[in-house]
Chains A and B, each alone.
Chain A
Amino acid sequence: DAGVIQSPRHEVTEMGQEVTLRCKPISGHDYLFWYRQTMMRGLELLIYFNNNVPIDDSGMPEDRFSAKMPNASFSTLKIQPSEPRDSAVYFCASSYERGGLDEQFFGPGTRLTVL
């Protein structure tokens, strides 16, 4: 398997623009996670899905952020409008549970810079 795939790898945009990040989880995994990582706050869970259904979105900062998972092989994280404080690395991860162990497999991340 190719692992978790994210696109784009780098995104530079101007404040106020819409940003869409994409993720393809590992085939057969039933959990998908979106994280944001910054130096100050570390790795923060934004939202996660189980079988394409959003389970916990309490980490989504505000209404400017939205996430969808229309099918088992694709998810998007959208920021509209973007702000400079959204600059961070956004990771997508997927997992499946077996006997209690469900380590997460992370994609390479999208480095977002909002000017």
Chain B
Amino acid sequence: GQNIDQPTEMTATEGAIVQINCTYQTSGFNGLFWYQQHAGEAPTFLSYNVLDGLEEKGRFSSFLSRSKGYSYLLLKELQMKDSASYLCAVRDILSGGYQKVTFGIGTKLQVIP
């Protein structure tokens, strides 16, 4: 099975940088995803990491350390529209070769002026 931990809430100031951490425990790790979900809407894909290191995509970056079971999502130059929940999701290889993606509870980020 999987255990995914991330903070439930964070607050940051417009224009600042915020880092949202995610730790996980899994037996057959095969990739980590970050999704953004605005209130009342569906999750949308942000980033994907399968190897150690940093993946950068505009104002958003995601980091992975497989040996530590750790990832973070870095948001730069925060904008009010970044207020949303950020979901960490881990893909696992199950017995039989099938894959399963499990989502964390999500971190609700509030950006304040």
A-to-B contact residues, CB < 8 Å: 33, 35, 41-45, 48, 50, 55-56, 91, 100-101, 103-109
Main secondary structure on chain A at its contact with chain B? strand
B43 CB, nearest partner CB in chain A, Å: 5
A43 CB, nearest partner CB in chain B, Å: 4
B31 at the A/B interface (Cβ < 8 Å)?
yes
Residues of B within 8 A of A101 (CB): 31, 48
Other A-B pairs, 10, CB within 8 Å; known A45-B102, A100-B50: A42-B87, A42-B105, A43-B103, A45-B100, A50-B98, A56-B94, A56-B98, A105-B45, A106-B44, A108-B41
B-to-A contact residues, CB < 8 Å: 30-31, 33, 41-45, 48, 50, 87, 94, 98, 100-106
Main secondary structure on chain B at its contact with chain A? strand
Residues of A within 8 A of B102 (CB): 45
**A103 contacts B33, C-beta separation under 8 Å:** yes
A101 CB, nearest partner CB in chain B, Å: 5
Most buried by A among B30, B44, B94, B100: B100
Given A56-B100, A103-B33, A106-B42: A43 and B94 within 8 A (CB)? no
Distance, CA A109 to CA B87, complexed state (A): 17
Distance, CA A107 to CA B45, complexed state (A): 12
